[in-house]
Amino acid sequence: MTVTVTTLPSGLVVATDRMEHVDTASVGVWVGVGTRDEPAGADGIAHLLEHMAFKGTTRRSARAIAEAIEDVGGHLNAYTGREQTAYYAKVLAEDAPLALDIVADILQHSVFDPDELERERHVVLQEIGQAEDTPDDIIFDQFQVAAFPDQALGKPVLGDPEVVARLGRQDLYDYLGQHYGPTQMVAVAAGRVDHARFVAEVESQFRDLPQRQGATDGPAHYRGGACHDERELEQIHAVIGFPASAITDPDYYAWSVYSTVLGGGMSSRLFQEVREKRGLAYAIYSFGASYRDGGTLGIYVGTDPKDLDTVLDVTCAEVNALGETLEAVEVKRAKAQLRAGTLMGREGTSNRAETVAQQLLSFRRTIPLAEVLERLDAVSVDDVLRIARTVRGGVPTVATLGPLGSVDPMARVAAALG
């Protein structure tokens, strides 16, 4: 067991995953809030705050932050998700204290300088515009909106341009104070690190966190439905989805195996039938998104508009058939893919730190590798068949973007699924 966990008196959880034979360390803080925790009328504040954290503190300017990490050859980054926000760095092992110092500084002492805010606001608006110009990116946001309408969980992570354009310093301070308390955070280091030393450094560095916590979004309510964005493009992009498991669901691994059999690789049913046998698409795959209280199973495909009706029919036929014709060899192959992916991911410090953080935020404990592999290995053919039948009975979501023509995607999917 390489993971050690300590909870500080403040409630901040500190964890290390020691890797003896590497020369690097990944250090970061993961916060258990994201887009679904944004208050009404503040769409995009979580993402804007993540950007502004790097734009200057009481101790360092934006340039000084960048130079401090790059002076030691390190990398500093962050991301905003629907339920979590992360700030992390990868450095040589001896520079882990510096990385933690920088992360602690930007999370507690950011000044949100008005001039920097105006510049970074423009950067975020450019990012939103770039996403809008990338069909095989923005289609997933449109799918999320259709699956979870009128809910924070359904909002795009990047935010609403009109809202981002008017968010001010006080909005950022209020959101930070409400959501970035110690009980919402985990500090993690993976690599050649010493647990006791890291705990002491975290306790010393994180003395200025707010203690109060704001309310979070209510339970997720998957509803399903259809949406279409008509654009003049060479392809039409589509995502077909269904309600799926929460990350804590006992069937989580069965859902993962199902998704892999359906569209998780070159040997998957969708890839073989849609691309290899029929040549109807360059990209087609399935994916899962699991949250604390629900999730989705989705299928993405990009195809020629004239082939959309055929692609939808063939895709739904594979969804139907999997529940009747699943073979043991497919389940064995999918489990081998997932097992290998899990083990390969353990070779890097960044992945190890991310895994520990995600487990602590989702389960309030770390899950030993042996337990993960045991639960994956326990998935049976009957388990996957049960998931396949659940998918077929779920209310679909269909999002399309591009030149639709006369096809009604939702009607086509509903008819094909029976």
Q: Active-site positions?
A: 50
Burial of 414 (0-12, 13-18, 19+ CB in 10 A): middle
415 to each of 42, 313, 323, 380, 385, how far by Cα in Å?
A: 39, 9, 17, 30, 22
Strand partners, 288: 297
CA 284, 318, 146, 51 dihedral sign is negative
Dig out the tokens for 215 from the structure: 């309310």
Burial of 50 (0-12, 13-18, 19+ CB in 10 A): buried
CA torsion angle 54 56 60 61 (round to 10) = 100
Q: Judge whether 291 and 83 are in contact, CB under 8 Å.
A: yes
Strands 397-401 and 284-291: unpaired
CA 410, 412, 413, 418 dihedral sign is positive
Among residues 198, 241, 236, which one has the least CA distance to residue 401?
A: 236
